[in-house]
Structure 1
Amino acid sequence: MRRLTAALTAAAVLVLGYAGLDAADFVPGLLTTRPLPPPPPTETPGTRTLPVVPQPSPSTSVRMPLGSLAGESAAPSAAGVRRALADVLDLPALSDSALVVRDGQSGQVLFDQGGTERRIPASTTKLLAAAAVGQVFAPDETLKTQVRQGSSADEIVLVAGGDTLIAPGAGSRDAVAGRAGLSDLANQVAKALQDSGIEKVSLSLDTSYAPGPTHAPTWGAGFHRLGIVGAVTMLGLSTERAAENDPAPNDPVASTLDTFAALLKKRGISVTTTAKGTVSPSQRVLGSVESAPVRDQLALALTDSDNTLTEVLARQAAFRAGAATDFPSVGAWIVEQVAALGIDTQGVVLSDASGLSRENRVTGTLLTDVLRLGYDGKHPVLRTALEGMPIAGLTGTLGDRFAIDSTSDAAGRARAKTGTLTGANALAGSVVDDDGRLLVYAGLVAGAPTLEARAALDRFVAALAACGCR
C-alpha cells in the first residue's frame, strides 16, 4: 500500500511539475503559448520534389523574373562542376559536342569542352539576334502601323511599320501578340473620313519600311509549307503566325490589307484597293495603332522560337542602323553588333537571324558571353528578351521536357533557348544550382539523332541544377 501511495505521489509531482514548465513555455503542452522551435536541420537536404501543375500555354504578357546575379552564396568551382558532369559526359549522344559552363555572377569558366569550336547553332542564333536588336531599339520603343491620307482626300494609304502581331479585331493592352488592333485602326480611320464627309476611298499600301526578300536562299524548300517560318514582311496579323503544320499566308501583307478593307466597309466606307503607293511623313495621319514594346516581342520570339518574328525584328533593326536588309547582310550586321559589345566573334558566320540556315557557325563560348551580358543589368532590351527564354518543364519549347526522373532536377529552375536542325541540336541558357548560384551554359551537339541529343542535353542541365558545385 505504501509503495502504491509513493508511486501515485511521485506521478502527481511529475504531472504538476510538467504543468508548471508547460505554463512557463519551457516544454510543449496544452498550456504552451510560445510556438514550438523548428526541428534541427538534417545533415543532407531532403529529396527535392516538384508539384504537378498543368502545362500552361506560353504567356504573351507576363514574364517570370530572372534571378539576380547578386548573392551571398559561395562561388562554384571547376572541380565541382566536373564532378557533377562526370556521368553525363559519357553519354554517347555527347560524343561530338561542345559544352561550356560559367559562373553567371563572376563569368568564370567552370567547364569547357570544345567551347571555341565553330558549330551550327540552330535556333540559339536568336540569342545573338536579340543582342543586336537591343542596341537599336529603346527599352520601351514600339512599332506604329498608320493610315495616312494620300495625294487626294479620297485616297488613303496603309503604312506598314514592322508590326506583324496585329490583332484582326480589337487590340488588347495586356497582350504582346495582338496589342494593336486592326479594328481599332479602322474605327479611327472611318471616323476621320466621315467627319470630313468622305464615304468612298481608294486604299493602297506603303511597304517602303525595311524592304527585303521574304525567304532566305539557305532555308529548306519545305520550311514555309510546314509552318516552320513564314514570309518575312513588315506587316501581318497575330492570327496568321506560322506554326508547326500550320503555315502562314504566302502574302501576309495582302491578307492584312484585305482584312482592313473589309473592316472599313463594315463601317460604311466604300473601299477600292489599288497598287502599292508611298506617302511622306508630312501627310495627314488618319489613324495609328502601336505594338507591344520590341523587347517584349523579342521575349515572345524566344519563348516560341518564332523564326519569322525574329527575322522581322532583326531586319528592321538593321534597316534603322543603315545596313542592307537581305538575309546574309542582316546576319553579318548581327555579328558586327555583338562584336561591338566587346564579345569575341572571330570566325562567327550568320546567314540569317533565326538560325534556320545550316551555314551559320558560332561557338559555345560566344553563346555564354551573350547570356552573361544579358544578365549584367546594363542591356535592358536583351535582359527582357532573355526573360522570354522557355522555362524547363513549363513553357514554350521546353514545356514537354525535363519531366522524367533523370532530368526533373532542372524543372522550373532552368531557362534555355533550344536549337533543332537535322543532325545539329543546341541548348543555351541559365540554371540556379543547389547552392543558389546562377550558372550559364551552352551545349552544341552534332551527329546525334534529335531525341537522343535532346535527352543528353537535358541531362547536362539537370546535373548542373542538382550540383552543389563549390
Structure 2
Amino acid sequence: MVVPELRPWQAARPQVERIANAVRPRLARAGAAARPRVARLARALRPRTPRLPRPGAVRTWQYTAGAATAGLALAAGVVTAAGPWDANGQRTAERDRAVALEQPGGADHGRSGTTAGTARPAPSAAPVLVGLDGPVAAVDTKKAAPDGKPLSDVLKPLLGAPALGGTRAAAVVDVATGKRLYDTDADEALTPASTTKIATAVAALSALGPDHRFTTRAAIEGDTGELVLVGGGDPTLTARGRSDGWASLRDLAAHTAQALHRRGIRKVTLSYDTTLYSGPQLHPIGVNDNLAPVSPLIADEGRTDGSSSGPAPRVSDPAKDAASKFAAFLKDAGITTTPPGPSKAGTRAQTLATVASPPLSDIVERMLTNSDNDIAEALARQTALTSGQPGSFAGGAKAIAARLTKLGLPMSGASFHDGSGLDRDDRLTAGLLTGLLVTAGDPARPGLRPVLTGLPVAGFTGTLADRYTDSAAGVVRAKTGTLTGVNTLAGTVVDADGRLLAFAFMASGTTDPLAAESALDKAATALASCGCR
C-alpha cells in the first residue's frame, strides 16, 4: 500500500489502532501483573529508536512486529509512538547499515551467488526479550488458568477434535524461559506442509545473515561482445513497473544501456546464465501453480496473471522469460539484441550493471507472510551454496538440516526434501517447530528476528488475514501449513498474562481442510485466553 500524501506512521495508525483495540481487553484481564511488563517494554524500546521511519511504501502490518518479538501484542501502540520500525518492518538503523554496506552477492561460476563470510547479527535489532527487569520466573504448568483449568485440560479436548484427523502432535513453549508447557507426541515426526518455511527461514538467516542481498548483473564478454544476463538467485526480481524496493529488470536494462551507449554499442548478442543452480528445476510435485521451475534468473516468480502471491499459472522457462523481458527493456533504451539463449559468463566478463535485492530480512518476512514457495526454494538453494552444497533440491535440504543441527535444535526424526514444504516426504516434529521459534526469539541471535516479525498476524495479514475474526485477532501470529490430508499451525501467541508462547499444532489424516483450520484456530485462541503460570 502506497500512501504518498501521508507519512508512514500516520498511514499505519488506523491499522495499529485496530490491533490495539483487539488486544486491549486482554490487558484488562491481565490486571496489574501485566501492566508493569508493558511499561518496562516501553522503556526498553524507546532508547533504541534511531529515528522515525522514512516516507514511502507502507506495509502497515509490520508495525505489529514488536508485539510478537517482545511477547506483548499491546506493544504495537508503543512501537507506533516510538517508531523503531520502518515501512518494511526493519529497524531503520539496520536498513541504513545494510544499504551503506552495499553488499553485492550474486557472484557466479565457482562462487555461491552470496556474500562470503559467516552470518552477522542485525546490528540494531534490540534484544527486547531481555532487560525487562531480569529473568522471568519458571512456569508451573499445573497451576490453574483463569477459568480454573490447567493448560493441558484446556488444549487436550480442542486438539482431540475429530476434524484434526487420526494423527496429531502439539507443543507449547514459553519463549522467555524455553520451558515446554504442553506436549502431545511433540517428538513424533509428521508432514509439516508449509510450516517447513520456518526451518528454511532460520537456516537461511543463520547461513547468510539478515543484511545479505542477492544480485542480478549484466556482463559483457570482452572478446565477443556478447551481453550476458547473469542470474544471482534473487527470487524477488521484478519486471513490472515500479519495484517498490525490489530489484527491477527495467532498472538493470536502463543502466546496462547507458554503459553500452558509452562504449558506442547499439546492437548486442544477448544470452543468459543460470549456472548458479544445479539439479532439476521442477519440484517433485511437477508442474504446479504453487511453484515455478526453480531458476536463479526469474522475474515476478514467472507468474503470468499479474498476481504477486498465491497460486498462479507460471511460465515453463523462467530464465528465458526474464531475458526476453530484459531484451524488450533494452530495445526501449535504444539497444537492439538477438533473441536470448542460454550461455555462461566467462571469468573475464566485465560487469556493466547490477541490481540488488532488499535485505534477506525483508525477503524472509515476505516468504513467511505470504507462504511464498518460490522464495522458500530459492533460500534453500542459497543456504546450500553458502554451506558448500550444490544449489539443488537435495543440496538445499541437506544444508538446512546441517544448519539447524549446528544451532542445537532437536533434529530427531526430521527429514527435509525441499525448502517450501510442498514435498509430502518432509518430516518435522512439533518440538522442532517450537524450538525454531524459541531460537528466533533468543536475545543472543537478533539476526533471526525476522522469523518472528514475518509470521502472519491473525485477522490482519498474509495467510491469516481471513482467519481469527474473534478476540485472538492481532494476538496470534502463526505460519500455516496445508496439504491434502495435512493441516498445521505454528507460531507465537500472547497469553492473558502478557507472556509470549511458541506453539506448534500438527494434524495428519484430515478430510475437511476448513474444519481442520477452524479446530487449530480454536486451540490457538484458547491458548491466547489462558494464563500459563
* Partner residue, 1:188: 255
Equivalent-residue separation in structure 2 for 1:43 and 1:206 (angstroms)? 59
- Mapped contact 1:228–1:243 kept (Cα < 8 A): no
Cα distance, 1:76 vs structure 2: 4.2
- Give structure 2 stretches of 5+ with no counterpart: 1-26, 32-56, 71-128, 143-149
Residue 63 of structure 1 contacts residue 388 of structure 1 at CA under 8 Å; is this kept in 2? no
Whole-angstrom distance in 1 between the partners of 2:206 and 2:453: 17
Q: How does 1:114-153 map to 2 (within 5 A)?
A: 114-152=185-223
Which whole-Å deviations, capped at 9, do the CAs of 1:306-344 have from their partners, x for residues lacking one? 111100111122022211333233212211210110112
- Where in structure 2 are the equivalents of 1:46-445 lying within 5 Å? 59=59, 62=62, 64-65=64-65, 66-68=68-70, 69-70=129-130, 71=132, 76-79=139-142, 80-85=150-155, 87-94=157-164, 96-152=167-223, 154-169=225-240, 172=243, 174-175=244-245, 179-217=246-284, 219=285, 221=286, 224=288, 227-238=289-300, 240-241=302-303, 243-403=309-469, 408-445=470-507
Q: Which deviates more, 256-265 or 324-333?
A: 324-333
Q: Which amino acid aligns with 1:409?
A: S
Query: Which whole-Å deviations, capped at 9, do the CAs of 1:192-246 have from their partners, x for residues lacking one?
Result: 11111111111111112123311222x2x4x51xx21111111222274485452
Within 1, Cα distance between the matches of 2:60 and 2:225?
A: 38
Q: What CA distance in whole angstroms lies between the structure 1 residues aligned with 2:168 and 2:58? A: 30
SS of 1:134 mapped into structure 2: helix
Q: What is the distance in 2 between the residues matched to 1:451 and 1:129?
A: 26
Q: Per-residue CA shift, 1:383-431, capped at 9, x if unaligned?
A: 213311111111111111112xxxx232101111111011111000000
Shift of 1:163: 1.2
Q: TM-score, normalised by structure 1?
A: 0.81
2:475·2:493 contact (CA, 8 Å) conserved in 1? yes
Partners of 2:283 and 2:293 within 8 A in 1: no
Q: Percent same amino acid among aligned pairs? A: 38
Q: Is the 8 A contact 1:63 1:387 kept in 2?
A: no
Q: CA deviation at 1:280?
A: 3.8
Take 2:424 and 2:354, find their aligned partners in 1: how far apart are those partners? 39
User: Paired residues, what number?
Assistant: 406
User: Equivalent residue of 1:64, what SS?
Assistant: helix
Q: Assess if the C-alpha contact under 8 Å between 2:437 and 2:451 holds in 1.
A: no
Q: Distance in 2 between matches of 1:42 and 1:305?
A: 34
Q: What does residue 51 of structure 1 align with? A: none
Inter-partner Cα distance in structure 1 for 2:263 and 2:255: 13
Q: Once the 2 structures are TM-superposed, how far is the Cα of residue 469 of structure 1 from its aligned partner?
A: 2.0
The superposition leaves residues 152-184 of structure 1 with CA deviations (integer Å, 9 ceiling, x where unpaired) of: 363211111111322214554x53xxx111111
Distance 1:239 1:124, change over 3 A: closer
Moved more, 412-421 or 69-78: 69-78
Give the C-alpha shift of residue 135 in structure 1: 2.1
Q: What is the CA-CA distance between 1:188 and the residue it aligns to?
A: 0.9
Given that 1:74 and 1:435 are in contact with CA atoms closer than 8 Å, whether structure 2 keeps it comes out as: no
Using the TM superposition, name which of 186-195 and 433-442 deviates more: 186-195
Distance 1:375 1:96, change over 3 A: same
Conservation of the 8 A alpha-carbon contact between 2:219 and 2:350: yes
Deviation, 1:84, is 3.2
In 2, distance between residues paired with 1:88 and 1:61? 29
Contact (CA 8 Å) 2:416, 2:427: kept in 1 or not? yes
> Counterpart amino acid of 2:439?
L
Query: What is the RMSD of the two structures over their aligned residues, measured on CA atoms?
Result: 2.5
* Match in the other structure for 1:37: none
* Change beyond 3 A, Cα 1:342–1:278: same
Look up the SS of the partner of 1:194 in the other structure: helix
SS of 2:216's partner is: strand
One-letter code aligned to 2:162: P
* Distance verdict in 2 for CA 1:75–1:434, change over 3 Å: farther
Give the C-alpha shift of residue 89 in structure 1. Answer: 3.9
**CA 1:97–1:232 in 2, change beyond 3 Å: closer, same or farther?**
same
- Worse-matched range after superposition: 359-368 or 236-245: 236-245
Q: Secondary structure, in 3 states, of the residue corresponding to 1:115?
A: coil
Alignment-mate amino acid for residue 256 of structure 1: A
Paired residue type of 1:204: S
> Highest Rg: 1 or 2?
1
What residue in structure 1 maps to residue 9 of structure 2?
Answer: none
Identify if the C-alpha distance between structure 1 residues 67 and 381 changes in structure 2 by more than 3 Å, giving closer, same or farther: closer
Residue 444 of structure 1 aligns to a residue whose secondary structure is strand
3-state SS, counterpart of residue 454 of structure 1: helix
Residues 84-133 of structure 1, C-alpha deviations (whole Å, 9 max, x = no match): 32542442234531011111110111110110111111111111111211
Given the alignment of the two structures, is residue 456 of structure 1 paired with residue 527 of structure 2, yes or no?
A: no
Q: SS of the counterpart of 2:169?
A: strand
Counterpart of 2:471 in 1: which secondary structure?
A: helix
Distance 2:438 2:528 in 1: 18
Whether the 8 Å contact between 1:332 and 1:349 is mirrored in structure 2 is: no
Q: Tell me if the contact between 2:369 and 2:456 (Cα under 8 Å) persists in the aligned partners.
A: yes
Structure 2: distance between partners of 1:191 and 1:58: 32
- Within 1, Cα distance between the matches of 2:28 and 2:177? 31
Distance 2:493 2:345 in 1: 49
SS across alignment from 2:361: helix
Change (3 A) 1:320 1:281: farther
Deviation, structure 1 residue 258: 0.4
Instruction: Describe the shift of the 1:212–1:296 C-alpha distance in structure 2 as closer, same or farther (beyond 3 A).
Output: farther
| SS of alignment partner, residue 272 of structure 2 | strand
SS at match of 2:376: helix
Give the letter for the 2:265 counterpart.
Answer: I
Q: Distance in 1 between matches of 2:139 and 2:371?
A: 31
CA contact (8 A) 1:171 1:182 kept: no
Distance in 1 of aligned mates of 2:352 and 2:420: 35
